[in-house]
Amino acid sequence: MQDHRKARYEKNKCHKRLRRLVGQAVDDFNLIEDGDKVMVCLSGGKDSYAMLDVLRSLQQHAPIDFELVAVNLDQKQPGFPEHVLPAYLTALGVPYDILVEDTYSIVQRLTPEGKTTCPVCSRLRRGILYRHATEISATKIALGHHMDDVVETLFLNMFYGGRMKAMPPKLKSDDGSNLVIRPLYYCREALVAEWSAYAEHPIIPCNLCGSQENLQRQAIKAMLTQWDEQQPGRVENIARSIAHLTPSHLADHNLFDFQGLGADELQEELIHIRQVT
C-alpha cells in the first residue's frame, strides 16, 4: 500500500512539473490565446502523447477557453497499427481526425538508395498537416518537440550547416497562413519519457518505414547524453542561451551595424560591458 502511494505521488509530481513547464512556455511566448483552435499533431510517440495530456490538463484549468483537435497522419507504412490512435482518442473523448495519405510510396520512390527517408517524409507530412489545419480553421498547430530536440537542432545547424539556428517556440509558416507552436519547449526529453511511462501510452514506433534516424542527430544526441552525465545542467544552460543573445558580441552584420560602429558607440559598448561584468 505504501509503495502504491509513493508511485502515485511520483506520478503526480512528474505531471505537475510537466504542466508547470508547459504553462511557462505558453505564458512566455503567448502560445495559446482565448478562442484558439489548436490542432495537436499526434504521431503515436511519447512526445506527442505527453503534449496532448498536458494541453488537455491546461484546457481544464487555464483561465482561457480554447479547443483541441488531435490529428494523426496515416502514411500507409507497412504494419502501421491504424486502430490504436482512434481507440485511444475515443476512450479519452478527444475530437480527432485521421488523415490517410500514401506518402510511404512517394518517399520510397524519391529517396536515393542508402539515404534516410526522414527529410522527404517530413516535408510531405508538413504540407499535408498545414493544409488540413487551414481546412478545419485551426489557429495553431502544436508539435511535440522538446528542449533536447531544440538543442540538438542548434548543434546540427552549427556543425553541418554553418548557421546558428534552432527550433523556435512559435513559428509562422512560410506562406503566412499557419502558426506552429511547441508547448514542450522547456521540457527535457527524460521528463517527457518519465510521464509517458507513468501514463502507459500505446506507443507506435517510428521505424515502420524501415528508415533509421539521421546519424548526425544520433551523434549529437550521444554528445548531449555524455554532457548530462559529466555536467548536469549544461544542456539547460545551452537552451537558455538561445534566449539571451548579444548581437554586438557575435558577427552577424545583419543583426548589428559593425560598419557604422564609431568611437562614441565603441566607448558606450565598453561601458556597457563593464557594467554587466
Q: Which residue has the cell 518505414?
A: 209
Q: Which domain holds residue 98?
A: 2-241
Domain check: are 129 and 168 in the same one? yes
Residues of the chain with pLDDT under 70: 1, 107, 109-120, 207-214, 263, 265-267, 276-277
Report residue 45: phi and psi, to 5°: -95, 170
Q: Does 151 lie in the same domain as 184?
A: yes
Same domain, 187 and 266: no
Q: Would you give the DSSP letter of residue 231? A: S
Output the pTM of the full model. Answer: 0.88
pLDDT at 272: 74
Q: What φ, ψ does residue 276 adopt, rounded to 5°? A: -85, -20
Tell whether 218 and 268 lie within a shared domain.
no
What pLDDT does residue 50 have? 98
Same domain flag for 197 and 212: yes
Could you tell me which residues are beta bridge partners of residue 68?
38
Residue length, the chain?
277
Phi and psi dihedrals of 99, rounded to 5?
Answer: -95, 130
Residues 94 and 188 in one domain: yes
139 and 257 housed in the same domain = no
Are 136 and 264 part of one and the same domain? no
pLDDT score, position 137: 96
In angstroms, the first-to-last Cα distance of the chain is 54
* Helix or strand run (H / E) with residue 171: strand 170-172
C-alpha–C-alpha distance, residues 166 and 159, integer Å: 12
Cα distance between residue 11 and residue 69, in whole Å: 26
Q: Are residues 151 and 35 in the same domain?
A: yes
Q: What confidence score (pLDDT) does residue 77 get?
A: 81
- CATH number, domain with residue 23: 3.40.50.620
Distance CA 274, CA 277 (A): 5
| Same domain for 233 and 105 | yes
180-232 pLDDT, tens per residue?
999 999 999 999 999 999 999 999 987 655 555 567 888 999 999 999 999 99
Contact assessment for residue 18 and residue 47, using Cβ atoms and an 8 Å cutoff: no
Q: Quick one: pLDDT at residue 97? A: 97
Q: What percent of the chain has pLDDT over 70?
A: 88
Residue recorded with cell 511535440? 144
Residues 100 and 37 in one domain: yes
pLDDT at 110: 66
> How many domains are contained in the chain?
2
Q: Looking at the structure, tell me whether residues 65 and 178 fall in a common domain.
A: yes
Q: How far apart are CA 40 and CA 204, in angstroms?
A: 16
Give me the pLDDT at residue 159, please: 94
